[in-house]
Amino acid sequence: MAAAAVSNAQSMMKCCENYILIDAGANLTNKKFGRDLESVLQRAKDAGVQKMIVPGSSVKSSREALRLARIYPDTIYSTAGVHPHDAKSWTDECLSELRSVADCSECVAIGACGLDYNKDFSSPELQMEAFSKQIELACELKKPLYVHERDAHEDMVRTLAKYRDSLPPVFIHSFSGNAQQARTYVEMGVYLGITGVLCKDNSEKGLQSLLIESGLPLDHLLVETDSPFLYPNARASKLPPHVRDGLTQRSLTFLQRYCTFQRNEPCSLPALVEMVAALLCRSPEDVALATAFNALKVFGLS
């Protein structure tokens, strides 16, 4: 009995050490997680990551994300979508297949879909066609829209505005735009995802400046690792010294022991939250709790 009491106390202490975190974007269907996903999920749990959204970027990966959500209920949730890079492969059959995946309760959003004019994997015309169909699906199913946008802000705003009256919650995954674009999205009620991109974006109107100047209100922010990509480099020269100094040893341990530029993991999320908190001049606990609450609200998680 005494041993059990000690064990319970230790478990409670461990929980108290952790922030309450939700990773709004972890690409766990990526082949880099093919051999040790169980260990990756355990490390995430140990770091305080309660839940993870695994986005689909094609019909195939949407099905795979749904499979993971069923294997790990209440921990992993999936989305169903066709990424703008893959818009050239869009067909009417894609829409019916996405609908069948999105109808499942484990699937909590439509996407990743959107517009990307930074790379020309698919033409803008094909991207717009696929995106519009997925917006209509989100409106039909009343599920949030999980959006990818690069260098396409004006077209994105115009497109979303067309569906203003029936649009569900909108989440811009891995936001990397400027201050004016952020303000426009927030005024539209859109939620923005912050990733490790902030470690290298110290431009005059970049992510760091936006956070320092409180240009991004906390009630419209979510945090995401975008694993295995966008490693939040704690040693980045573009990070202000007070941000590097504000990282706790516990978060650094998860970040530096298990994550690399080649493979980021959800367990890096505490370090990212501490960076955001330092830039906002808020406590990490406040940022963790607020962003987790936002994720619960946007995606309707239990």
Q: The tokens of 40 are what?
A: 């990756």
Q: The tokens of 81 are what?
A: 């979508």
Closest to 76 in 3D by CA, of 57, 51, 56, 55: 51
Which positions ≥6 away from 142 have C-beta within 8 Å?
A: 168
Whether residue 163 is predicted with pLDDT greater than 80 in this model: the reply is yes
- Is residue 11 very low, low, confident or very high in pLDDT (cuts 50, 70, 90)? very low
HSE on the CB side for 64, CA within 13 Å? 14
Closest to 277 in 3D by CA, of 212, 224, 215, 220: 212
Closest to 251 in 3D by CA, of 271, 230, 274: 271
Per-domain boundaries in the chain: 31-299
Q: The tokens of 26 are what?
A: 């972890």
Structure-token match 């959500």, residue found? 69
Q: With left for phi above 0 and alpha for psi between -120 and 50, is residue 21 left, alpha or beta? A: beta
**Range of lowest pLDDT (29-33, 77-81, 184-188, 202-206):** 202-206
Note the pLDDT of residue 3.
53
Dist CA 265 CA 127 (whole Å): 29
Say which amino acid occupies 221.
Answer: L
Q: Average per-residue pLDDT in the chain?
A: 92
Closest to 277 in 3D by CA, of 187, 180, 208: 208
Residues 62-73 have pLDDT tens digits of: 999 999 999 999
φ, ψ for residue 114, nearest 5 deg: 150, -145
The answer to the question of whether 148 is labelled as a binding residue is yes
Directed axis angle between helix 249-258 and helix 269-280, to 10°?
130
Q: How far is CA 117 from the centre of its chain?
A: 20
Note the pLDDT of residue 215.
73
Which positions ≥6 away from 112 have C-beta within 8 Å?
A: 55, 56, 57, 79, 81, 83, 146, 147, 148, 173
Residues 206-231 have pLDDT tens digits of: 899 989 987 788 999 999 999 999 99
CATH of 31-299, one of 3.20.20.80, 1.25.40.390, 3.40.50.2000, 3.20.20.140: 3.20.20.140
- Is residue 202 very low, low, confident or very high in pLDDT (cuts 50, 70, 90)? confident
Q: Report the percentage of the chain scoring pLDDT > 70.
A: 94
CB contact at 8 A, 53 and 109 = yes
Whether residue 38 is predicted with pLDDT greater than 70 in this model: the reply is yes
Say which amino acid occupies 4.
Answer: A
DSSP reduced 3-state for 122: coil
Structure-token match 């879909």, residue found? 113
- 163-168-172 Cα angle (round to 5): 90
The answer to the question of whether 173 is labelled as a binding residue is yes
Strand order in the sheet with 49-54: 21-23, 49-54, 76-80, 107-116, 145-150, 170-172, 191-194, 221-223
Closest to 157 in 3D by CA, of 183, 193, 123: 183
DSSP reduced 3-state for 286: helix
Say which amino acid occupies 252.
Answer: L
Which positions ≥6 away from 179 have C-beta within 8 Å?
A: 205, 209, 210, 213, 215
CB contact at 8 A, 225 and 266 = yes
